[in-house]
């Protein structure tokens, strides 16, 4: 099954047909959630159309392209896929046709009961033209509602999805006359909407609205189990009971933008807290704290504050690096890391270093970074990870590999320390996270951290 880390953004403008640039701006703000393909579905006077392409948002949408795409209701999607299935046919939004009517969908998440749903549908002869979970939602809607699309009511649509599709999903549906935004009852993935005098905007993260210079009071979370209908007639809401929450903690650790506020917490500040907790749980004498840029910076700031060991840039981050033009020889395994994270020797030399990163999955680059730091003269390198050990897969939309590829699922702390050539290694415990989140702890999903 394809795991999908994605971002979605929608716009409904009340008074003009210029919604496409808003969605494009929103997708740019969500680009970190998916860099493989970008696309939109949009409503015109008598049609519903899709424009999508492999590539980054900026490359997919040119000013010239956009001038031709006039619409007042648009949904968009950025996608990141795994396992090489980066074919255009898997890129979203999808555009569906049924009895001469149309609708489109953009989805962030991964459906837990996908295999079972797929089997049931296949038993009834349904075929799949894409390899995404998202396609299932389309088939389920048609099968269950069993009438013309234009006769579907908002409540029916929302109910059908809530009742038949297992989380996770935050999604946008585009119809001729409305956008429906919907978040699963556990709330795995975030979803927000914002209203101003011109219209309504929906976004995976609240930072998606920042280009609007928003009045933050008007940013609303779409809560777990809630669905909204946005149309020129106004806003309708439908909700199902959502007692149990399962906010994805990985959104905080790695996936979201630091300036986003997810599940009631600012992402950067959460990472800083995690860094502090990591310092409390894994103290060590050292000279400097070195972040693995960019994602480790927030946690390193926290570690530094808590430990009172100064933070310093022992590793730079080179932004212009892409593919390599020179094949590294055997003896030079670190060329990739060195191009991307070149060490600053003057900072490192002779120092006892606390190296802070946000998480470790496979652990393959960590060894290269440690080796590089030691070559550059580091006396000791203490690896500190501002999250718990990743020991399990994710079935709800984070691209975590199979267990046998997860280093922490297969090695002890001592073994990992050796594998990284580190002088010590420390994670944050789930107990530590409980102390940070307090009562909120039970509202999160920590599945990938639990055997």
User: At its nearest, how many Å lie between a copy of itself and the CB of residue 450?
Assistant: 28
User: At its nearest, how many Å lie between a copy of itself and the CB of residue 101?
Assistant: 10
Stretch that binds a copy of itself, among 131-139, 219-227, 235-243, 437-445 (CB under 8 A): 131-139
User: At its nearest, how many Å lie between a copy of itself and the CB of residue 405?
Assistant: 18
Nearest to 23 by CA among 49, 6, 36, 42: 42
- Cα 220-246-188 angle, rounded to 5 deg: 60
Q: How many residues bind a copy of itself (CB under 8 A)?
A: 89
Q: Which of residues 253-272 bind a copy of itself (CB under 8 A)?
A: 257-259, 261, 266, 268-269, 272
Q: Which of residues 144-163 bind a copy of itself (CB under 8 A)?
A: 146
Q: Is 2 in the site for a copy of itself (CB under 8 A)?
A: no
List 3, 57, 227, 407, residue binding a copy of itself (CB under 8 A): 57
Confirm or deny that 278 is annotated as ligand binding.
Answer: no
* For a copy of itself, the closer CB: 96 or 398: 96
Q: How far apart are CA 435 and CA 392, in angstroms?
A: 22
Stretch that binds a copy of itself, among 52-60, 380-388, 418-426, 438-446 (CB under 8 A): 52-60
Q: How far apart are CA 315 and CA 327, in angstroms?
A: 23
* For a copy of itself, the closer CB: 391 or 436: 436
Residue 359 CA, chain-centre distance (Å), reads 15
Q: Is 108 in the site for a copy of itself (CB under 8 A)?
A: no
List 130, 164, 195, 231, residue binding a copy of itself (CB under 8 A): 130
Q: Is 125 in the site for a copy of itself (CB under 8 A)?
A: yes
Q: Any idea which residue has 């971002």 for tokens?
A: 7
Nearest to 361 by CA among 333, 401, 397: 401
Stretch that binds a copy of itself, among 132-140, 152-160, 173-181, 418-426 (CB under 8 A): 132-140
Q: Which of residues 351-390 bind a copy of itself (CB under 8 A)?
A: none
Task: For residue 426, give the 3-state DSSP assignment.
Answer: strand
User: At its nearest, how many Å lie between a copy of itself and the CB of residue 259?
Assistant: 4
User: At its nearest, how many Å lie between a copy of itself and the CB of residue 191?
Assistant: 19
Cα(first)–Cα(last) distance of the chain, in Å? 21
Measured CA to CA in angstroms, residue 163 lies from 33, 144, 183, 184, 241 at distances of 27, 10, 13, 10, 11
User: At its nearest, how many Å lie between a copy of itself and the CB of residue 430?
Assistant: 24
User: At its nearest, how many Å lie between a copy of itself and the CB of residue 243?
Assistant: 28
Q: Is 278 a catalytic residue?
A: no
Q: Any idea which residue has 């933070």 for tokens?
A: 311
Task: For residue 290, give the 3-state DSSP assignment.
Answer: strand
Q: Is 40 in the site for a copy of itself (CB under 8 A)?
A: no
Q: Which of 3, 4, 5, 6 is catalytic?
A: 6
34 within 8 A of 205, measured Cβ to Cβ: no
List 344, 391, 419, 436, residue binding a copy of itself (CB under 8 A): 344
Name every residue whose Cβ is closer than 8 Å to that of residue 260 and which is 6 or more positions away in sequence.
190, 205, 206, 207, 266, 267
H or E stretch at 339: helix 335-340
Q: Which of residues 389-448 bind a copy of itself (CB under 8 A)?
A: none
What are φ and ψ of residue 61, in 5° steps?
A: -110, 115
List 191, 290, 311, 408, residue binding a copy of itself (CB under 8 A): 311
The strand pairing partners of 161, in sequence order, are none
Looking at 240-357, which runs of residues are DSSP E strands? 247-248, 261-262, 265-266, 288-291, 352-357
Q: Which of residues 160-219 bind a copy of itself (CB under 8 A)?
A: 207, 210-211, 213, 216
Residue 55 CA, chain-centre distance (Å), reads 17
Q: Is 62 in the site for a copy of itself (CB under 8 A)?
A: yes
Confirm or deny that 308 is annotated as ligand binding.
Answer: no
Nearest to 8 by CA among 206, 203, 194, 251: 203
Q: Which of residues 64-93 bind a copy of itself (CB under 8 A)?
A: 64, 66, 87-89
280 within 8 A of 306, measured Cβ to Cβ: yes
Confirm or deny that 448 is annotated as ligand binding.
Answer: yes
- The binding site for Mg(2+) consists of 295, 357-358
Binding residues for [4Fe-4S] cluster: 248, 394, 445, 448
- Please state the residue numbers annotated as binding site: 248, 295, 357-358, 394, 445, 448
Catalytic residues, by residue number, are 6
């Amino acid at each position: 099954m394809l795991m999908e880390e994605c971002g979605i953004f929608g716009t409904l403008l009340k008074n003009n047909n210029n919604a496409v640039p808003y969605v494009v701006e929103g997708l740019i703000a969500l680009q970190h959630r998916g860099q493989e393909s970008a696309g939109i579905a949009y409503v015109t006077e008598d049609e519903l159309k899709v424009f999508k392409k492999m590539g980054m948002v900026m490359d997919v949408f040119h000013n010239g392209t956009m001038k031709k795409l006039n619409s007042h209701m648009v949904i968009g999607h950025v996608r990141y896929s795994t396992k090489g299935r980066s074919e255009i046919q898997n890129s979203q939004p999808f555009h569906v046709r049924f009895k001469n009517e149309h609708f489109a969908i953009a989805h962030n998440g991964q459906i837990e009961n996908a295999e079972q749903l797929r089997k049931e549908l296949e038993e009834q002869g349904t075929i799949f033209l894409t390899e995404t979970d998202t396609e299932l939602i389309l088939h389920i809607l048609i099968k269950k509602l069993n009438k013309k699309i234009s006769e579907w009511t908002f409540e029916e649509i929302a109910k059908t999805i809530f009742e038949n599709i297992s989380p996770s999903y935050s999604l946008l549906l585009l119809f001729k006359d409305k956008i429906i935004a919907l978040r699963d009852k556990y709330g795995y993935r975030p979803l927000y909407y914002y209203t101003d005098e011109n219209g309504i905007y929906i976004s995976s993260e609240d930072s998606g609205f920042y280009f609007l210079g928003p009045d933050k009071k008007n940013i609303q979370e779409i809560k777990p189990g809630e669905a909204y209908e946005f149309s020129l007639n106004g806003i309708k809401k439908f909700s199902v009971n959502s007692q149990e929450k399962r906010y994805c903690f990985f959104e905080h650790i790695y996936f979201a933008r630091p300036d986003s506020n997810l599940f009631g917490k600012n992402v950067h500040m959460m990472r800083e807290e995690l860094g502090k907790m990591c310092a409390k749980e894994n103290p060590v004498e050292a000279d400097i704290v070195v972040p693995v840029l960019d994602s480790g910076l927030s946690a390193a700031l926290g570690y530094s504050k808590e430990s009172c060991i100064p933070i310093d840039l022992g590793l730079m981050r080179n932004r212009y690096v892409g593919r390599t033009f020179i094949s590294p020889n055997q003896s030079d395994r670190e060329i990739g890391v060195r191009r991307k994270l070149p060490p600053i020797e003057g900072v490192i030399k002779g120092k006892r270093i606390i190296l802070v990163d946000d998480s470790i999955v496979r652990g393959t680059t960590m060894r290269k970074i440690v080796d590089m730091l030691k070559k550059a003269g580091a006396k000791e390198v203490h690896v500190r990870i501002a999250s718990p050990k990743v020991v399990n897969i994710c079935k709800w939309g984070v691209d975590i590999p199979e267990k046998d590829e997860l280093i922490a699922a297969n090695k002890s702390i001592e073994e990992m320390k050796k594998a990284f050539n580190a002088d010590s290694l420390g994670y944050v415990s789930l107990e530590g996270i409980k102390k940070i989140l307090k009562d909120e702890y039970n509202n999160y999903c920590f599945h990938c951290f639990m055997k």
